[in-house]
Chain A
């Protein structure tokens, strides 16, 4: 069954002047965009101005801190939050365009949603939860239940057809919510923080499962999350938002390797330093340290990504191999699994990750003066 896309067919190229699309990277390898949205919403302190595109077969993750407007963006696409400005287009049909006076109500949009805490109807068993959408769209009860059972079996819940939501684990609830959203054959699947309701241990396994299930659904998928790991594992393309704006977009590996803002850098655990290219093999950083890099730098305004593990610490000024070295003061020290993360204050504020043994050897404590060094080949320089 493919639910009808109602409403008047949109004027595809009637660009709205209020919101300017600012997605740098177009849709990924998948091709034809299914969703094209320019979302303008003012809601309390939030001023959302976001351009999003999702192509057929693509998984896009909107990554951002709490309050960045991720959930509002999702609600706008689902029709639960009308736009103030902009336009939402799905498969060429306009769903929301305040300037043109078009608004397709939620229940007529071919959009499935998996909500943050799943929101399974507590009085219905798993089967009737999944059958709900088909029933609401006028399918006979027997057919709706048969198809709901097929969906649940496909997601490995054949033994839990008649379980109430209260009797399901977090991972099972998530799969029921996924089956419920997919049972109506939506063109676009939205997932709001799909793993946030799970405890840390369940999360790792279910993240992998969810990736598999998302891959088996052919349409366009858009998920929002504040967890960079979820975004990196699940998405083909990341859109990083902060304060209602896109700050960076691109394939996960690219975003993780070359963060453009400090927020993304912190998320992926990379040091980000801004500087000015000298036209040769050097970059003058904002703090006054001149870094020598492996490749010639052509751009003027550049960002330098430094992995914390590439930062070495020494008691005295290092000599020998070509290194960038500077003197720093030890700031906060915190354990990070089998390593120790040391914040360095001084001309180049970065974090270094060293082994506990190295820390003991260097007698590190907050306030201690040390020398830090990075090899030129470990610096990733790119235009800002």
Chain B
């Protein structure tokens, strides 16, 4: 078949059935119109001044710090957990997998309340720790990081677990025949092969932590400069200080898009 004929054939296969088009357009409109409205009401001339205010800069700094820390926690704890879920065989694995993904479907407020009962001053773990050391997580920046990690961890775990499952394990066999023990196989073969999944999972966890609201406000409260992240600041300012709220929203949108555009591309081509 000639190249031209071939490309025509592919093109016709890629053309959607007509009935789908209006619905797809509607879906795009539904997703995009709110952002257009936000942009239309944005105080463009005032933006520089608004973004320079302490309310905004404090929230921005705190959000970036806590989301990055949470992504780090998810990375350190999530990769080993993903390995266990993907590779180890033990009774109750399906239950464990369900438990691990629970924070993804649970309302974050419930997560925050549960965190409070676990790590609060009178909490299951928090109580003894406070009595022994005087350390208190809630209503501190550490609390924000804990809340963010709680909601972000599952995103990394399921992404890396899927990556590990798709690894061709014969490469690990090959490494073993070359004299690599299990630790060397993990370090030099398995991890490099799942590196794209680890990167995608970390970015997803970071993006999820950046937008965290419910668990944070419940567990860590809303103290400017200490626990007031950008989503909290937007919520607080939406009535009293609409300009600042919109400016903060724009920053969140810009940051999220910057993360999602390369991420979606990687997923679609993977």
* A residues lining the B interface (CB < 8 Å): 3, 75, 78-80, 105-109, 111-113, 115, 119, 121, 123, 132-133, 135-137, 180-181, 184
Contacts and interface: CB of A to CB of B under 8 A. Distances in A.
16 contacts: A3-B179, A80-B173, A80-B176, A80-B177, A105-B181, A106-B177, A107-B176, A112-B178, A115-B174, A119-B170, A123-B193, A132-B178, A135-B188, A136-B175, A136-B179, A137-B179
B-side interface mostly: helix
Contacts of B184: 107, 136
A113 B168 CA distance: 17
A81 to B, nearest CB: 10
Interface string B159-192: 0000000001011011111111100100011001
Given A121-B189, A136-B188, A113 B177 contact: yes
Nearest to A183: B178
Contacts of B193: 123
A273 B171 CA distance: 45
A109 B181 CA distance: 11
Interface string B185-205: 000110011000000000000
A115 B179 contact: no
A135 B187 CA distance: 13
Interface of B: 168, 170-171, 173-181, 184, 188-189, 192-193
B178 A115 contact: no
Contacts of B173: 75, 78, 80, 106, 115, 119
A181 B175 CA distance: 10
Contacts of A123: 192-193
B264 to A, nearest CB: 24
A181 B188 CA distance: 17
Given A115-B170, A121-B171, A123-B192, A136 B180 contact: yes
Contacts of A78: 173, 177
Contact of A184 (B178, B181, B188): B178
A107 B171 CA distance: 13
A121 B174 CA distance: 9
A29 B189 CA distance: 41
A136 B188 CA distance: 9
A119 B180 contact: no
A123 B173 CA distance: 16
A119 B171 contact: yes
Given A107-B181, A133-B178, A181-B178, 16 more contacts: A75-B173, A105-B176, A107-B176, A107-B177, A107-B178, A107-B180, A111-B177, A112-B178, A115-B174, A119-B173, A121-B175, A121-B189, A132-B175, A132-B180, A132-B188, A136-B181
Contacts of A109: 177
A184 B174 contact: no
A180 B192 contact: no
A184 B170 contact: no
A137 B181 CA distance: 9
Nearest to A75: B173
Nearest to A113: B177
A46 to B, nearest CB: 18
A221 to B, nearest CB: 15
Contacts of B188: 132, 135-136
Contacts of A132: 175, 178, 180, 188
Contacts of A79: 176-177
Contacts of B168: 119
